Chains A and B, each alone.
Chain A
Amino acid sequence: MSGKVGIVIVSHSPEVARGTADMVRQMVGDEIPLSFCGGNPEGGLGTSVEKIMAAIDAAWSDRGVAVLVDLGGAETNSEMAIEMLPAERQGKVVICNAPIVEGAVMAATESWGGASLQEVQRTAEELSPA
């Protein structure tokens, strides 16, 4: 498992996060580190730095972790979560500027194929207009 880049899905909605992870699993099974989180600290729509940090930890790989986010607050909270990680981990986590569902599936497929973190990120970001 640790030979593949980890994928983290962060949505405002726990159902979107779970459903996206289901779609990823359909492509790559259990062969890459994958975790997801959604919802504010009370479980309503929103995101939580604590949950994102835990999700990054759960999908940790020495080859790095790619994070897929939906709307603004998910990105801002993910950036904050990355900055609160131990220093040696911070440089190994990237947020992909990509649509969450398509980006997660593409990133996971790249990771499954053995791609590096940079390749995973680049492939996911090809989905976004430059």
Chain B
Amino acid sequence: MTLDIRLLTQALAARVIAGADELTALDSAIGDADHGLNMKRGFEAVLGDLDSIAAKPLPDALKAVGTALVMKVGGASGPLYGTLFLTLGKELGSSPGVADCGRALATAVQAMKARGKSDLGQKTMLDVLGPVAELLMTGETDADAVRKKAKSLAEATIPMKATRGRASFLGERSIGHMDPGARSSELMIDAVCDVLEGRT
């Protein structure tokens, strides 16, 4: 698949920035109420480098996005999403197929687990990204199926009890709220699906 890097970067940033208030509201329920603001700051920095990012081949563009997020987000999600994009940049060639993306995402999820000392089932972004990687590895090319899977995975964090991150301080009281990191992961997957479907 050929990807328009400028379009993809803009779509990712626009989706996260538009969702910032919602992400912060989710984070205020079970965390420190900064996830939306942090992600917005990170993706605004990405947009600030847009010309330079768009001029790079895909692997280098992904690494540049990862570095911007690491430096500018200012919460744990910075190193975590930074690790996601940096690993994708290391793993992917310039024009990957769907299954290649799935394998690279699975590798990135492993790297994120190490970075966050976390695993699936702890009510985090991994609960969306891990199973989406598995779906992509099967070669799923229907973007809408991927979008729906990500949405249902984010919703599935609502009844979970958080055992990692700031929400874990709340114990049982974290149950009943969607994890903000799971939602931001869903938003990013949704943005990529939009680009693949030619919607943006």
Give residues in A with beta carbon < 8 Å to B: 40-42, 44-50, 71-73, 76-77, 79-80, 84
Contacts and interface: CB of A to CB of B under 8 A. Distances in A.
B166 A80 contact: no
A49 B78 contact: yes
B20 to A, nearest CB: 14
B74 A80 contact: no
Contact of B72 (A41, A79, A80, A84): A41
Interface size class of B (residues with CB under 8 A): 20 to 34
Interface in B4-43: 32, 34, 37-38, 41
Nearest to A42: B41
Interface in B43-83: 70-76, 78-80, 82-83
Contacts of B80: 76
Contacts of A47: 74-75
B112 to A, nearest CB: 11
Contacts of A46: 34, 38, 74-75
Interface string B126-170: 000000000000000000000000000000000000000110000
A71 B115 CA distance: 15
A73 B76 contact: yes
A84 B38 CA distance: 21
Contacts of A80: 70, 78-79, 82-83, 115
B116 interface: yes
Contacts of B83: 80
A73 B31 CA distance: 12
Nearest to A73: B76
Contacts of A84: 70
A14 to B, nearest CB: 12
A72 B166 contact: yes
A44 B72 CA distance: 12
A80 to B, nearest CB: 4
Given A49-B70, A72-B166, A76-B116, A40 B38 contact: yes
A75 to B, nearest CB: 8
Contacts of A79: 79, 115
B116 A41 contact: no
A80 B73 CA distance: 13
Nearest to A74: B76
A34 to B, nearest CB: 23
A73 B75 contact: yes
Q: Which 8 A-B pairs have the closest CB atoms?
A: A40-B74, A73-B76, A46-B74, A80-B79, A76-B76, A76-B79, A73-B75, A41-B74
A50 B71 contact: yes
Nearest to A48: B74
A71 B32 CA distance: 11
A55 to B, nearest CB: 15
Given A76-B116, A80-B70, A71 B166 contact: yes
Contacts of A40: 34, 38, 41, 73-75
